[in-house]
Amino acid sequence: MPTSFSRPIPDFKSASHTAIISDLHLTEAEPVNLRFPLWKKFKTRQFFFDDVFESFLKHIEEKAQGAPVELILNGDIFDFDSVLRLPEEPVFHVGWLERHRGLFPREERSRYKIEVILNDHAEFVRALREFILRGHRVIFVIGNHDLELHFPEVQEEIYRHLNLPDHKRGDVRFVEWFYISNQDTLIEHGNQYDPYCMCEDPVNPFIRGYNYVSLKLPFGNLACRYIMNGMGFFNPHVDTNYIMTLPEYIKFFFKYVAKAQPGLVLTWFWGAVVTLLHSFFDRLAAPIRNPLKIEDRVSVIAEKSNAEPRMVRELKELFVAPAASNPFLLARELWLDRAFIIFVAFFLIFQLMVFIRAVYEISFFWAFIPLFLLLPFFLFYSKSVTSLVSGYKEPDERVLAMAGAITKVQRIVFGHTHHTRHEIIGSIEHLNSGCWSPAFLDVECTKPIDQKTFVWISPTESGSRQAELFRFMEGKSELMVNPGRG
């Protein structure tokens, strides 16, 4: 994080009013496809909400009744994985894979991507700048889709676009994966408890390649880059849009995809293979660590997060193991196990037919008989295999209790799942701020889910603070009642 301030960094440890939003997934504007208008429709400017965000900032100022507001942008504010635009005259070599699926997570490339996002969302930048100038502060918590915020040059590009006076730059802060607000609330994006999306080491997130420094991306990011970026009729913001049964995939293909992308199966297959290989080799790459500076690094993370160094180390112990440790599990999630079964079946049947035809003059059409006999077993296997991607996203009671004990709070706020929550789990008040992303249940983008929700923490008459979950609609906030709230 840049440190060229004209005065010391402001004290962030106390806050009266805190607003928390997550999962905006701001990315580049997708040009409208005139031939196939449903192609990545969710990414077009039609669904930009920059003006709504500006209205939201003014609304929370009104709710605070003149008091300073602490705005926490709790991860996945930017979606680097969905940016496919390339520089017209790149100063770095752009490989074939980058031209088709987006630039690799290296500092100069990531800086270009954040510049693309901020230019396309100029109204968002202006609204955030004016909010800060009016006396409020902003904290960026790094999530899984904006891991590239770890690069200092990317953070500097955001400062450049905000164009703040020197004495206001300190009112913007970037934190690695957690933040403690007013010593009563722990805020995390939540991806560190999802094995498919966790950053393996946010304290030391970089790995060294040949002549370059890169980020080690989680499996979920790689799947979005190499698979979802090439399958424009699937919305990556909703699991049910791309995690289906075989009959559902077939129905979806003939309804939406057949004319626009008849080679979808090949697109999926090579994307899945690249994702699996990239995950495997990234898993083998060791993070860049300097033993002489580890404690300094931990101290800096703690200071920015209003924590103690021991909290950083102890919270890190709660992380789940990355799914990339098990390539067979990843192959199953990518459907490559089913592809392998089909390949082996065809190969064995072909070899059998070649042997039989050497003795008897029969048609190759007889090969369909064993294929039809094997089909029920294949369908039974496919149906018995369920995806674990969705099931891992909610932290369990043990994680919440341990995180609360470590940070000495009784309230924890997450994002990541795109599902709003407000409940008491054990001794911890747990909230999830939902999402603002262009998440739709249908390809036509007519059924939005969990849009424009936020957590609002404000003081009570007793001197403590209370947390509430709101939905922001038409310039007003509506309190969301949750049956899980104790």
Asked whether the predicted pLDDT for residue 5 surpasses 50, the reply is: no
Give 383's pLDDT tier (boundaries 50, 70, 90).
low
Q: Which is more confident, 233 or 113?
A: 113
In this model, does residue 163 exceed pLDDT 90? yes
User: If you average pLDDT over residues 347-374, what whole number do you get?
Assistant: 76
Q: What is the predicted pLDDT for the residue at 483?
A: 41
| Mean local confidence (pLDDT), 382-391 | 62
Comparing 6 with 388, the larger pLDDT belongs to 388
**Is this model's pTM higher than 0.75 or not?**
yes
pLDDT of residue 379: 61
Mean pLDDT score across all residues of the chain: 88
Give residue 120's pLDDT. 96
Average pLDDT, stretch 6-17?
70
pLDDT value at 3 more than 50: no
Which of 147-156, 239-248, 410-419, 451-460 is predicted with the least confidence, judged by mean pLDDT? 239-248
Q: Sorting pLDDT into bands at 50, 70 and 90, what band is 382?
A: low
| Strands 411-414, 212-215: pairing kind | unpaired
Q: Give residue 7's pLDDT.
A: 38
Closest alpha carbon to 420 in 433, 430, 403: 433
Residue 239: per-residue pLDDT: 75
pLDDT grade for 8, boundaries at 50, 70 and 90 = very low
> Which one is predicted more confidently, 389 or 4?
389
Q: How confident is the model at residue 211 (pLDDT cuts 50, 70, 90)?
A: confident
Label residue 311 by pLDDT band (50, 70, 90): very high
Rounded alpha-carbon distances, angstroms, from residue 311 to 66, 194, 427: 33, 20, 19
Q: The sheet that has 420-425: what strands, in order across it?
A: 178-181, 185-188, 411-414, 428-433, 420-425
Q: What is the pLDDT of residue 378?
A: 61
In this predicted structure, what is the pLDDT of residue 484?
Answer: 46
C-beta contacts of 349-354 below 8 A and 24+ residues apart:
none
Between residues 432 and 247, which one has the greater pLDDT? 432
Q: What is the mean pLDDT of residues 247-267?
A: 86
Domains and CATH numbers, the chain: 17-216+285-320+392-479 (3.60.21.10), 342-384 (no CATH)
Average pLDDT over every residue of 59-70: 93
Q: How confident is the model at residue 93 (pLDDT cuts 50, 70, 90)?
A: very high
pLDDT at 468 exceeding the cut of 70: yes
Instruction: Please determine, for residue 242, whether its predicted confidence score (pLDDT) is greater than 90.
Output: no
The fraction of the chain above a pLDDT of 90, given in percent, is 61
Share of the chain above pLDDT 70, in %: 92
Q: Which of 4-13, 67-76, 265-274 has the lowest mean pLDDT?
A: 4-13
What's the pLDDT at 21?
A: 97
Q: What is the pLDDT of residues 78-89, one digit of tens each?
A: 999 999 999 999
The stretch 251-268 carries a mean pLDDT of 87
In terms of average pLDDT, the best of 77-81, 191-195, 216-220, 276-280 is 77-81
